[in-house]
C-alpha cells in the first residue's frame, strides 16, 4: 500500500488509551502518523508515551512560538491525507459543529481541507443527548465520516449503551476504505449496474406507497465504483440527491419501471441491487384522487406483488453479470433472514443491514454484514461512503 499520512487528533476521553494501540496498528499498516493531543487528552494518556510511539511527531500547543512561525495548524492538516479523531468527545464534536478554533486541534480542523474521520467515544447518555444528535447531524452534513461508536459496557460502573469508541482495527479499516478509492482504475473496463433509493407505487394521482430509503447508500457505491474507474449505470428511485459525477443516471418511479431500466442497462459485469424496491403495488391505481365518501369506511387497498429485480438479474439475465450483489434490509434475525434471502434470490454476495438501527435507512451511517460462500464478515458501523468504498475494495479484490 502507498504510504499515506494520518493526522491523529486524540481527544480527552477514557478511550484515549486506545489511541496508543491505534498509532501502533496504523504504523503496522504502513501509515505515517502525526499526532495532536488536546489538553484534556493529556489527562488520560501521557504526551511522552504518545510522542515515543509517534516517533516525536506530537503537537499540542496552538501558541507554540516555533511551530506557529510557519502557521503550524495549517501545515499539519496540509501534510496529511486524512485527519482521524479518536476518541472524538462530545465537546470536540460540538466545537467542530460550531466551527470553534480555540486550541491547536480545533484550529487545525477549521483550517483543514482533507477528509475527516471521527471515532466518537462518550457516555451513552451524552451520545443520546439532543444537542449531541444535532451536532453529529451537522458534522455529517459537513462531510465528516464516522466510524462507531459501538454498544457495550462503559468504563463507568453500571453504564451500558452506545458510546464506546470503535476498536483501532475498525478505525483503520475505515481509513483504508476512505483512502483506497485513490487506487483509481482498478475497475476500469467493467460495467457496474447499481439500483438505489425507494420505489413509489401509485395509489391514485396524488398518493403512493413508499419507504424510507434515501438512496444515500446506493449513490455512495456508484461514486466509489466510478472513482475506481468503472463505467457506472445508476438506476434510481425518487430521491433528493445530486447525481454522482461521471455516472449515468436513469431515474424511475415504480418497481416495474426500475426492472425495465435494469433490463435495458444489461449486460453488466457487476450488478449491485441496493434499492429498496416495494414488494407490493396496488392491484390497480385509481385514475382520479380517491375521496372520502362520508360513510367513515376507508377504501380497501388491494395489493399485488411487484417483479423481483434482483431475482431476475441473478437467475434469468443472459448473460448473467459475473458478480451479483444483493442487499437485505432486516429488522430482526438479521443473519438468518439474510442468509436465506441470498439463497432464495440467487445472488453471489449479500450485504445485510439492520434497518431497525437509528441512521441506517434514510440516515448517513450503516453497519453491515457481508454474506458470501466463504463466510460472513461483520463490518463496523461507519458512514455510507466508507461502507461503499470498502464494498468496492472487496469487489476489486474479487476480480484480481
Ligand atoms: O437508501 P438509504 O437510506 O441509504 O438506505 C440504504 C438501504 C437500507 C435501503 C440499503 O442498504 C438496503 O438495504 N437496500 C435493500 C432494501 C430492500 O429492499 O431489502 P429487501 O430485503 O426487501 O430486498 C432484498 C434485495 O432484493 C435487495 O437487493 C432489493 O434491491 C431486491 N429487491 C427486492 C424486492 C423487489 N421487488 N425487487 C428487488 O430487486
Q: What is the mean pLDDT of residues 279-284?
A: 96
19 Cα–ligand 1 center, Å: 37
Name the more confident of 66 and 122.
122
Same domain, 24 and 169: yes
Same domain, 206 and 354: yes
Range of the domain at 159: 5-179
198 lines ligand 1 (CB under 6 A): no
Same domain, 41 and 142: yes
Give me the pLDDT at residue 193, please: 98
- Residue 285's φ and ψ, nearest 5 degrees, are -75, 140
Task: Quote the CA–CA distance of 239 and 134 in Å, as a whole number.
Answer: 23
- Atom of ligand 1 at shortest range from CA of 363: 3
Residue 214 is assigned to a structural domain of this protein: yes
Of the candidates 271, 278, 274, the one whose C-alpha atom is nearest the C-alpha of residue 315 is 271
HSE of 303 in the Cβ direction (CA atoms, 13 Å)?
10
Would you place residue 184 in the very low, low, confident or very high pLDDT band (cuts 50, 70, 90)? low
Task: Quote the CA–CA distance of 84 and 87 in Å, as a whole number.
Answer: 9
* Catalytic sites, residue numbers: 211
41 Cα–ligand 1 center, Å: 42
Alpha helices in the chain (DSSP H): 17-28, 47-53, 72-78, 90-98, 104-110, 124-128, 130-141, 168-179, 216-227, 255-265, 309-315, 334-345, 384-399
Same domain, 221 and 343: yes
pLDDT higher than 90, residue 205: yes
Would you place residue 1 in the very low, low, confident or very high pLDDT band (cuts 50, 70, 90)? very low
Domain stops at, among 179, 209, 232: 179
Exposed/middle/buried for residue 151 (C-beta within 10 Å: 0-12, 13-18, 19+):
middle
277 lines ligand 1 (CB under 6 A): yes
Would you place residue 71 in the very low, low, confident or very high pLDDT band (cuts 50, 70, 90)? low
The whole-angstrom distance between residue 335's C-alpha and the CA centroid of its chain comes to: 20
- Looking up residue 159, the CATH number of its domain turns out to be 3.40.50.1950
Exposed/middle/buried for residue 273 (C-beta within 10 Å: 0-12, 13-18, 19+):
buried
pLDDT higher than 60, residue 284: yes
**Closest Cα to atom 31 of ligand 1:** 310
Cα–Cα distances in Å, from 67 out to 50, 76, 100?
18, 10, 20
361 lines ligand 1 (CB under 6 A): yes
pLDDT higher than 90, residue 65: no
- Atom of ligand 1 at shortest range from CA of 216: 4
277 Cα–ligand 1 center, Å: 6
Of the candidates 391, 246, 247, the one whose C-alpha atom is nearest the C-alpha of residue 326 is 391
Residue 81 is assigned to a structural domain of this protein: yes
In this structure, are residues 308 and 337 in contact, taking their beta carbons and an 8 Å threshold? no
Q: What is the mean pLDDT of residues 306-323?
A: 98
199 lines ligand 1 (CB under 6 A): no
Q: Which is it for the CA torsion 290, 294, 298, 301, positive or negative? A: negative
Please provide the average confidence, as pLDDT, over all residues in the chain. 91
In this structure, are residues 297 and 278 in contact, taking their beta carbons and an 8 Å threshold? no
Q: pLDDT tens digits, residue range 100-151? A: 999 999 999 999 999 999 999 999 999 999 999 999 999 998 999 999 898 8
Task: Quote the CA–CA distance of 108 and 110 in Å, as a whole number.
Answer: 5
Would you place residue 382 in the very low, low, confident or very high pLDDT band (cuts 50, 70, 90)? confident
pLDDT higher than 70, residue 390: yes
Same domain, 154 and 204: no
Give me the pLDDT at residue 77, please: 76
Find out whether the peptide bond into 290 is cis, omega within 30 degrees of 0: no
Would you place residue 183 in the very low, low, confident or very high pLDDT band (cuts 50, 70, 90)? low
229 Cα–ligand 1 center, Å: 25
**Closest Cα to atom 5 of ligand 1:** 361
- Atom of ligand 1 at shortest range from CA of 327: 28
Task: Quote the CA–CA distance of 226 and 187 in Å, as a whole number.
Answer: 8
Highest mean pLDDT among 1-5, 247-251, 382-386: 247-251
pLDDT higher than 90, residue 210: yes
Query: For the chain, what percent of residues have pLDDT higher than 90?
Result: 74
Q: pLDDT tens digits, residue range 331-353? A: 999 999 999 999 999 999 999 99
**Closest Cα to atom 35 of ligand 1:** 308
Q: pLDDT tens digits, residue range 321-330? A: 999 999 999 9
Task: Quote the CA–CA distance of 51 and 38 in Å, as a whole number.
Answer: 14
Same domain, 213 and 276: yes
User: What is the DSSP code string of 315-359?
Assistant: HT-SSPPSEEEEEEEESSSHHHHHHHHHHHHT-SEEEEEETTSTT
Task: Quote the CA–CA distance of 72 and 108 in Å, as a whole number.
Answer: 8
Residue 58 is assigned to a structural domain of this protein: yes
Query: For the chain, what percent of residues have pLDDT higher than 70?
Result: 94
Would you place residue 152 in the very low, low, confident or very high pLDDT band (cuts 50, 70, 90)? confident
202 Cα–ligand 1 center, Å: 19
379 lines ligand 1 (CB under 6 A): no
pLDDT higher than 80, residue 182: no
Give me the pLDDT at residue 272, please: 98
Q: What is the mean pLDDT of residues 289-311?
A: 94
- Looking up residue 314, the CATH number of its domain turns out to be 3.40.50.10300
Residue 38 is assigned to a structural domain of this protein: yes
217 lines ligand 1 (CB under 6 A): yes
Number of domains comprising the chain: 2
Task: Quote the CA–CA distance of 247 and 142 in Å, as a whole number.
Answer: 23
The whole-angstrom distance between residue 336's C-alpha and the CA centroid of its chain comes to: 23
Which of 255, 277, 346 to mutate to test ligand 1, by most ligand atoms within 8 A of the CB atom? 277
Burial 241-253 (b: 16+ CB within 10 A, else e): beebeebebbebb
In this structure, are residues 171 and 82 in contact, taking their beta carbons and an 8 Å threshold? no
Residue 266 is assigned to a structural domain of this protein: yes
Give me the pLDDT at residue 162, please: 87
**Closest Cα to atom 3 of ligand 1:** 362
Residue 289 is assigned to a structural domain of this protein: no
Give me the pLDDT at residue 107, please: 93
Domain stops at, among 123, 149, 179: 179
How big is the chain, counted in residues? 400
Same domain, 244 and 339: yes
pLDDT higher than 60, residue 170: yes
pLDDT higher than 70, residue 66: no
362 lines ligand 1 (CB under 6 A): yes
Residue 215 is assigned to a structural domain of this protein: yes
Same domain, 162 and 189: no
Which of 235, 256, 329, 368 to mutate to test ligand 1, by most ligand atoms within 8 A of the CB atom? 329
Same domain, 165 and 195: no
Same domain, 138 and 228: no
- Residue 354's φ and ψ, nearest 5 degrees, are -90, 100
In this structure, are residues 192 and 225 in contact, taking their beta carbons and an 8 Å threshold? yes
Domain stops at, among 160, 179, 198: 179
Same domain, 157 and 206: no
Amino acid at each position: 500500500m502507498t504510504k499515506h499520512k494520518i493526522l491523529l487528533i486524540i481527544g480527552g476521553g477514557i478511550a484515549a488509551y486506545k489511541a496508543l494501540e491505534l498509532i501502533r496498528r496504523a504504523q503496522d499498516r504502513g501509515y505515517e502518523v502525526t499526532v495532536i493531543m488536546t489538553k484534556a487528552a493529556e489527562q488520560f494518556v501521557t504526551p511522552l508515551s504518545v510522542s515515543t510511539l509517534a516517533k516525536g511527531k506530537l503537537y499540542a500547543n496552538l501558541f507554540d512560538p516555533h511551530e506557529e512561525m510557519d502557521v503550524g495548524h495549517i501545515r499539519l492538516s496540509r501534510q496529511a491525507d486524512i485527519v482521524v479523531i479518536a476518541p472524538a468527545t462530545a465537546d470536540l464534536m460540538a466545537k467542530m459543529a460550531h466551527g470553534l478554533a480555540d486550541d491547536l486541534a480545533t484550529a487545525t480542523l477549521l483550517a483543514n481541507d482533507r477528509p475527516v474521520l471521527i471515532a466518537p467515544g462518550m457516555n451513552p447518555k451524552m451520545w443520546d443527548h439532543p444537542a449531541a444528535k444535532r451536532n453529529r447531524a451537522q458534522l455529517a452534513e459537513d462531510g465528516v465520516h464516522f466510524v462507531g461508536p459501538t454498544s457495550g459496557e462503559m468504563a463507568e460502573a453500571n453504564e451500558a449503551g452506545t458510546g464506546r469508541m470503535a476498536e483501532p482495527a475498525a478505525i483503520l479499516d475505515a481509513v483504508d476504505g476512505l483512502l483506497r478509492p485513490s487506487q483509481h482504475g482498478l475497475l476500469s473496463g467493467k460495467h457496474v449496474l447499481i439500483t438505489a433509493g425507494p420505489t413509489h407505487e401509485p395509489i391514485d394521482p396524488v398518493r403512493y406507497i413508499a419507504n424510507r430509503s434515501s438512496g444515500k447508500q446506493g449513490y455512495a457505491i456508484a461514486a466509489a465504483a466510478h472513482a475506481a474507474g468503472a463505467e457506472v449505470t445508476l438506476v434510481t428511485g425518487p430521491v433528493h440527491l445530486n447525481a454522482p459525477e461521471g455516472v449515468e443516471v436513469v431515474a424511475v418511479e415504480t418497481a416495474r419501471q426500475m426492472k425495465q431500466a435494469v433490463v435495458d442497462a444489461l449486460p453488466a459485469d457487476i450488478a449491485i441491487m441496493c434499492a429498496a424496491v416495494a414488494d407490493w403495488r396496488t392491484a390497480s391505481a385509481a385514475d382520479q384522487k380517491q375521496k372520502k365518501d362520508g360513510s367513515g369506511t376507508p377504501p380497501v387497498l388491494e395489493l399485488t406483488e411487484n417483479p423481483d429485480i434482483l431475482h431476475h438479474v441473478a437467475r434469468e439475465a443472459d448473460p448473467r453479470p459475473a458478480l451479483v450483489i444483493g442487499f437485505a434490509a432486516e429488522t430482526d434475525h438479521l443473519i438468518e433472514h439474510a442468509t436465506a434471502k441470498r439463497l432464495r434470490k440467487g445472488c453471489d454476495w449479500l450485504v445485510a443491514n439492520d434497518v431497525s438501527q437509528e441512521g441506517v435507512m434514510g440516515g448517513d451511517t450503516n453497519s453491515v454484514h457481508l454474506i458470501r460462500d466463504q463466510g460472513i464478515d461483520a463490518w463496523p458501523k461507519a458512514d455510507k461512503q466508507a461502507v461503499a468504498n470498502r464494498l468496492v475494495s472487496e469487489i476489486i479484490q474479487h476480480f484480481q
